[in-house]
Structure 1
């Protein structure tokens, strides 16, 4: 509305108010006059101001602009620098698209807080579908404390599995445990092979049996006597029994596995760690002073190849004799991570900044909800399930 017309209308309302007060009912006293004047003035002013807002975007709005709630995610203007990883700060909603290429996919409400790298993966925004058979949950998460160790674990089904037709189950699995005296923390992370139709069952059996059998070994032969051949042989037998019970070949339950046992820290706060593995799941360590996860164990992939192969040299239950193990130490304040290749491949890629992001984000323990959202990160070509279990050494308990 034009400013002059608004001023004239407002003056007319004020004059009308005084005329109203000066009418016949004035004889009822000053109090009634005051109420009448106030009522007429407020109603008139509200009508003027409300009418002024009703037919336009308001003062200072550009012609044709659409009011946008503060919590909607706004697309950056063309040419504006944007961070590689960003978070949505509110529910996504349709909004005008600026000219030029769109640097980010639209976030959905379920994507809130999920770190996004580069352009992300298009499948990340597709609906989550359910597999045909009853399977484990699409997301699993834990947090725990065992002696001096703070633990966070999460497994999230990858976009490539949850959006297919039909959808596939989460083929990753993990378990965390401890000895009865809490002097040892035990972790197992398994990754079922995508080519195996029952690999989710194989992975679940492998991770569960690994923690149970490692606890038995520690209680019978001690930390120094851990036997990788016996461990993987017995796990292979358990998976083979599962396959036999379902009437399928053992190759249909193929999975890889990595495990770790951590002893309580010594007088200097240093913890000894035993790691065993078969396949391309991996172990990484983090020095709190160095913002980078460092690969320590697992079947390394050839990053120099034109196409990085996902073929693994060994797997359960068919080749348990190929499992390997070694000991390492974890200084106070440092962290150990066991991850499937859905996370490890992203960390190992020198072209991205995923490793650096996670080194800073997980420099110290974070809430399980934040940890799970991080594991569900969105990055180009990262479509596999992703699982991570991190143990921070807090020194002596």
Structure 2
């Protein structure tokens, strides 16, 4: 129906109502003026009521019917003063032509995890899906929280973005173990990093870290103490365990290649000062954080040459091939200081002078944090940081 047809119908409807009202009014006039021998007052009341009802209906019927909607008003037109404008977050604009859907980035199935600290633009692989390796391996994340004498400990190991999104995915090749002597006078830490070039290095790293803590605990319980520790002898026995594991699996020992760093931390003395023995083979490292010092300080491990344009990931020593290259060193922990053992997935980022990763972790780990926060920190997002990350930190809570 057109707009003019609708208006003509409304006018005709109003005229019919007017004629009907006038007719009822005339009829009621004659009814009231005519004499009725019986029920006169009742007839008069009924006539007046009929006039009132028909009059009200006629008056309400004069309101024009709503015009049928023809089209939606343009979005950029000012709203009519008698209407309420819709509330929206952004100012509406003219309708845009439909655009084809944008292609999704390769493998990016979820946004970057906002719970982890992010440096610079982060790494693209951080947002990729986590995939499972083809074979049964250790968990992608491991964590611990403990108190050993005067020391508070946090530990976490997270499979790196470059391993968990590969096709096929690779297992977490880092491994750590923590322990203590039976009298809790010594805390024991071992952190291993399997070589990416070795197909079964995750098994080598697990064997190395587990055997290191077991052998160190046995020696400490026998009354040897820190001064009696022999790094080369210890790492030689660990190498034998890795070789035996390879033989049991029927694979070459080179497939289980790993680096290893170990530490034994002695209970603080009366002044709150603690001694720590550190032994290492390969590029995992130990760092210390003193109160009021803005960064973690490199203490032990195989330092990489960052003066060259390309930083090589090749290591000079590894287990089980070269345990004779093992070195050791003793450090001192003052009250309130911390000792961290990390794999190169953490250490390389801390040692990079171009970034602010070290400064962030010095502030974030100035004192013990909840284990869940510690895991998120170890899973940090930074450009070109794709390797597995492992960190074990002990805070000296001895007397100040």
Match of 1:63?
A: 92
Match of 2:193?
A: 191
Taking the aligned partners of 1:110 and 1:354, their CA distance within structure 2 comes to: 18
Displacement of 1:157 after TM fit?
Answer: 0.2
Displacement of 1:147 after TM fit?
Answer: 0.3
Q: Contact 1:130 / 1:162 at 8 angstroms: preserved in 2?
A: yes
Taking the aligned partners of 2:152 and 2:92, their CA distance within structure 1 comes to: 56
Q: Contact 2:112 / 2:126 at 8 angstroms: preserved in 1?
A: no
Match of 2:262 among 259, 262, 287: 259
CA-atom RMSD, angstroms?
A: 2.1
Match of 2:152?
A: 150
Match of 1:298 among 281, 298, 301: 301
Match of 1:285?
A: 288
With over 3 angstroms needed to count, the CA separation of the structure-2 counterparts of 1:64 and 1:343, relative to structure 1, is farther
Match of 1:323?
A: 326
Q: After the TM superposition, which parts of structure 1 deviate over 3 Å for at least 4 consecutive aligned residues?
A: 55-58, 106-110
Taking the aligned partners of 2:333 and 2:248, their CA distance within structure 1 comes to: 41
Gaps in structure 2 of 5+ consecutive residues = 1-82, 95-101, 103-107
Displacement of 1:219 after TM fit?
Answer: 1.9
What is the TM-score normalised by the length of structure 1? 0.74
Match of 1:376?
A: 379
Match of 2:340?
A: 337
Match of 1:359 among 362, 376, 389: 362
Displacement of 1:217 after TM fit?
Answer: 1.3
Displacement of 1:315 after TM fit?
Answer: 0.2
Q: Contact 1:193 / 1:199 at 8 angstroms: preserved in 2?
A: yes
Query: What do residues 351-381 of structure 1 show as CA deviations (whole Å, max 9, x unaligned)?
Result: 0000000000000000000000000000000
Q: Map of 1:101-116 to 2, 5 A cutoff?
A: 108=110, 111-116=113-118
Structure with higher Rg: it is 2
Secondary structure in structure 1 of the residue aligned to 2:92: coil
Query: What do residues 169-188 of structure 1 show as CA deviations (whole Å, max 9, x unaligned)?
Result: 00000011000111100000
Displacement of 1:223 after TM fit?
Answer: 2.1
Match of 1:40?
A: none
Taking the aligned partners of 1:198 and 1:322, their CA distance within structure 2 comes to: 22
Q: Contact 1:264 / 1:396 at 8 angstroms: preserved in 2?
A: no
Q: Contact 2:110 / 2:128 at 8 angstroms: preserved in 1?
A: no
Taking the aligned partners of 1:121 and 1:195, their CA distance within structure 2 comes to: 22
Taking the aligned partners of 2:179 and 2:319, their CA distance within structure 1 comes to: 21
Q: Contact 2:111 / 2:127 at 8 angstroms: preserved in 1?
A: no
Match of 2:164?
A: 162
Q: Contact 1:146 / 1:178 at 8 angstroms: preserved in 2?
A: yes
Taking the aligned partners of 1:394 and 1:355, their CA distance within structure 2 comes to: 22
